[in-house]
Amino acid sequence: MSSKGKDLVTGHDAEHEYEAGLAVVAPDAIKDPGLEPHRVRMTDKSEKHAKNAERQVTAMFLASIVGSAFALWAYFAFPLSPTDLGTVRSNTLFLGLGITLGLFGIGVGAVHWAKTLMPDAEVSEARHQTRGSEETRARAIEIIDLANQESGFSRRKLIRRTLYGALAFFPLPGIIIFGDLGPNPADSLKHTMWRKGTRLTRDPYGTPIKATDVTLGSVFHVIPEGLNESDHKLEEKAKAAVLLVRVEPEILKESDERKGWSYDGIVAYSKICTHVGCPVALYEQHTHHLLCPCHQSTFDLTNACAVVFGPASRPLPQLPITVDAEGYLVAQSDFTEPVGPSFWER
Amino acid sequence: MSTATATKKKGGFLAGTANYLDERVGVAGILKEFGRKVFPDHWSFMLGEVALYSFLVLLLSGTFLTFWFQPSMVPVIYDGVYGPLKGADMSVAYSSTLDISFEVRGGLLMRQVHHWSALLFVAASGLHMLRIFFTGAFRKPREINWVVGFVLFVLGMAGGFTGYSLPDDLLSGNGLRIIDGMIKGIPFIGAYTSSLLFGGEFPGEAIVGRLYSLHIMLIPALILVFVAVHLFMVVIHKHTHYSGPGRRDDNVVGYPLMPVYVAKAGGFFFIVFGVIMLVAATFTINPVWSYGGYDPSPVSAGTQPDWYIGWLDGALRLAPTHLEFMVGNNTLSMNILLPMVVGIAFLVVVALYPFIEAWVTGDKREHHVLDRPRNAPTRTAIGAAGVTFYAVLWAGASTDLIATQFKMSLNHVLTTIQILLIVGPILAYIITKRTCLSLQRKDREIVLHGRESGRIIRMPHGEYIEVHEPLDEYEMYKLVDFKAYQPMLARPNDKGVITLRSRIRAKLSGFFFEERVEPVTATELEAAHDHKEIH
């Protein structure tokens, strides 16, 4: 042990010195005094302390057994009751605490054992440069040369190049085979369920909304009528969700072409953020701003939902609405532009 | 035949087993080679161990969860024991997650063990990377292992994100929605790529099953392979050690594998597992039942991803308004591309840093003695700038919570963070570099003149001086054992031309090493002592 502990062991391969680059190699650097002398622990000096440490380690291992046994007991002692969800908490807590003690006992015991009773004198071992010796490297090159000669890899160009070609082509079917992961979206992203005359209904129940139900300042989360019966409910909802708000008609700044899109101060805008598609679900009544909780893009409801803050760029698309003969709010058409996050060919 | 009798089993069961194994797998040779291999000891070396052990805990707890979890997005009406959601529409995935939580004994515990250990895995990997960076452990011959570790860190994030999305709850569904939006923002292929990933339009019924394959098969398999390569290289290189007396580039100082390291590292696995178990037993994480199943319409305020995705989400938030442009009839969403490019560029710089520094220093020697961070001021300052950049992006993911918790204007918080993203790293760089240089100067002072003892004495001729206590040689060596580098001028090559490459290198070497403090030499030390005697 002590002979190995000497730090004179060296693994330096004198045969290869590397460039030091910009490093300053000072000729009069302060000399390495070698490993500091080992400090003896109490447990090394006194049998009493060693015995004590032994008892401590044993106690920890015993505690581990107790912990594991407790966990076994807790598994049965704290069953889950379908009527009392508090049982989930006690099951999790006591089972977990038991296992914790089972684990800690072993871990702390082992580390304590190593620190108090196993030798703590650091030893030094030679470290060799990663690079192989000149002899090894020469032999490696020889083997490669031999393999090359025996196979004719460099010499037989035609074989080599066609092999490269084959290797380049063979993965292609392996890529194209994933083509059916999903269809080409084509125009599906540009349309939603809204049609001329589709009633605006409450999310999630699907009950129609009368214009008179929408009081000043109130907000309705809206889905198109028939969405809940749709085959692709979530996909349709992810495009067709709408937010409906009523404000004083005179504060709406409407362009000429959108003059007829609102009804008596009631406006409907897509709820899907034009940034990355989160629902723009927060409405601030006194500023008339809509806020997306994901990235805080903010839209001005009175000004055609133009972006006033945040990473989004495009206004929320507006759904043209009116009322039908029974006074229910209906769409005049689908959205006139794609809703949701931007994409290249939109 | 006489050999057969000689190797006949002696000494009971253990010896018999050892003999059996040696004769079949050569276990004696393996033990002879590795049994007393020396590992250096330092608390900071445990960070990588924490990552490794939390990965093992992930494998164990994850396997448990697969026995009950059903990765299907088929809609069902919930009919489990959790009252508030009874009768609600949800996917099978979400419903089975609720069942694991409420109807399997230890199920919630294991879910929480899995989630907490995932967080710990990424955190420990990140801290381990920082340790490697700030001590220069990535230098030759460990550059490749740095890249392997980097890949592991990215795989950790990927594993985390795919797993986070599996329960198909409202929160994780919104996370997927954001991924969908980001993918759609990629020019040319965005919409199609999103369709390939989700099996059609978002959300579809495919994504959970697909992420599940990645999460339980591909990603853990890759992590296992890279961990194996990572550790294999540690064995090849042998572990680095901190500078100090007797620690050199051609030796390794520490404790032998058997028994000390086996006991310490083995015990440490149980401690890490125990800590995770304790946290999982006492602290709720990701209470999916309170979010409800995924529905594209509702969302809760204050939504946040798991912490390790925060910096990317922050990058998305920090993009200035109106960055979207029309290119002909097409839409170019720079508000999405810019954050993605910034994030990827940051990761690329991290991955390539060892090669950049090696090129600048031109130092081709092997380095096994770690740098104290102060002794590489520019590297440490670059690291601090990088950490600050990451931290500001991360804080960017909490603009709304900062605003609500501290009663500030959301708009001002965001603008402040946008400015900090540029200014913060520069400030961090300057402060760190000055601090490192000052610490180095202090070290020089201590080596040359000893430690201030605080004891003032009066000389016979009336002068007051403070007594300085000299260091012992071991302490002193710790403070002088480092190499300084000198910047170089751009030099003409054989053809007499100063190439652009050499100009850049010269500039970089100036940036790195113009300001430096060199270690005290024996000559200086002697001069200082002579000077003292004159006093």
Residue A2 has pLDDT above 50, yes or no: no
Do strands B369-370 and B241-242 pair parallel, antiparallel, or not at all (unpaired)? parallel
Q: Verify whether the Cβ–Cβ distance B297 to A204 is below 8 Å.
A: yes
Q: Does domain B43-292+305-371 have CATH number 1.20.810.10?
A: yes
Q: Going by C-beta distance under 8 Å and a sequence separation of 6 or more, which residues neighbour residue B463? A: none
Q: How far is CA B402 from the centre of its chain?
A: 25
Name residue, tokens 């954050």.
B339
Structure ipTM over 0.90, yes or no: yes
B69: left (phi > 0), else alpha (psi -120 to 50), else beta?
A: beta
> How does pLDDT run across A316-332, given as a tens digit for each residue?
999 999 999 999 999 99
Name residue, tokens 């129940």.
A205
pLDDT band (50, 70, 90) for residue B124 = very high
Answer whether A20 touches B (CB < 8 Å). Answer: yes
Q: Are A206 and A199 spatial neighbours (Cβ–Cβ below 8 Å)?
A: no
Q: What would the DSSP string read from start to end of A127-160?
A: ---SSPPHHHHHHHHHHHHHHHHHHTTTT-HHHH
In this structure, chain A runs to a length of 346
CA dist B125 → B262, B337, B343, B354 (Å): 22, 27, 18, 18
Q: Verify whether the Cβ–Cβ distance A24 to B274 is below 8 Å.
A: no
Give the alpha-carbon dihedral of B38, B40, B45, B48, to 10 degrees.
-10
Domain spans, chain A: 2-16+39-116, 142-167, 189-331
Q: Is A88 helix (H, G, I), strand (E, B) or coil?
A: helix
Q: Tally Cβ neighbours within 10 Å of residue B489.
A: 10
Q: Which of residues 34-93 of A touch B (CB under 8 A)?
A: 34-36, 75, 78-80, 82-83, 85, 88, 91-93
| B contacts of A239 (beta carbons < 8 Å) | 201
Distance in angstroms (rounded) separating the CA atoms of residues A43 and A116? 6
Q: Is B192 helix (H, G, I), strand (E, B) or coil?
A: helix
pLDDT given at position B420: 97
Picking from A4, A234, A296 by the largest number of B CB atoms within 10 A of its own CB, the best residue to mutate is: A234
User: Which tokens belong to B436?
Assistant: 């490192």
- Reported as type and span, the H/E element at residue A280 is none
Q: What would the DSSP string read from start to end of A212-275?
A: GG--TT-EEEEEETTGGG-TTHHHHHHHH-EEEEE--GGG----GGGTTSSBTTEEEEE-B-TT
Q: How far is CA A96 from the centre of its chain?
A: 27
Q: Tally Cβ neighbours within 10 Å of residue A294.
A: 30
**Amino acid of residue B380:** T
Distance in angstroms (rounded) separating the CA atoms of residues A273 and B182? 12
pLDDT band (50, 70, 90) for residue A4 = very low
Residue A113 has pLDDT above 50, yes or no: yes
Q: A153 phi and psi, to 5 degrees?
A: -60, -45
pLDDT given at position B10: 60
pLDDT given at position A10: 47
> How does pLDDT run across B338-391, given as a tens digit for each residue?
999 999 999 999 999 999 999 999 999 999 999 999 999 999 999 999 999 999
Q: Is A118 helix (H, G, I), strand (E, B) or coil?
A: coil
Answer whether A97 touches B (CB < 8 Å). Answer: yes
Q: Which of residues 102-161 of B touch A (CB under 8 A)?
A: 102-106, 108-109, 112, 141
**Chain mean pLDDT for chain A:** 92
Fold for domain A189-331? Rieske Iron-sulfur Protein (2.102.10)
User: Which tokens belong to B174?
Assistant: 């919104």
Answer whether A346 touches B (CB < 8 Å). Answer: yes
Distance in angstroms (rounded) separating the CA atoms of residues B143 and B358? 9
Q: Which residues pair with B330 in a beta bridge?
A: B327
- Enumerate the CATH 1.20.810.10 domain ranges in chain B, comma separated: 43-292+305-371
Q: By C-alpha distance, which of A143, A97, A140, A115 is closest to A53?
A: A115
Identify the sign of the CA torsion A90, A95, A98, A103: negative
Q: Which residues pair with B333 in a beta bridge?
A: B324
Picking from A313, A314, A346 by the largest number of B CB atoms within 10 A of its own CB, the best residue to mutate is: A313
Q: Are B367 and B238 spatial neighbours (Cβ–Cβ below 8 Å)?
A: no
Q: What is the pTM of this model?
A: 0.94
pLDDT band (50, 70, 90) for residue A16 = low
User: Which tokens belong to B525?
Assistant: 């030390």
Answer whether A95 touches B (CB < 8 Å). Answer: yes
> How does pLDDT run across B58-87, given as a tens digit for each residue?
999 999 999 999 999 999 999 999 999 999
Rounded to a whole number of angstroms, the distance from the CA of B216 to the nearest CA of chain A is: 19
pLDDT given at position B535: 43
> How does pLDDT run across B409-427, given as a tens digit for each residue?
999 999 999 999 999 999 9
User: Which tokens belong to A143?
Assistant: 């083997």
Q: Verify whether the Cβ–Cβ distance B336 to A344 is below 8 Å.
A: no
A-B contacts (CB, under 8 Å): 392
Q: Going by C-beta distance under 8 Å and a sequence separation of 6 or more, which residues neighbour residue B251? A: A7, A9, A10, A11, A124, A125, A126, A127
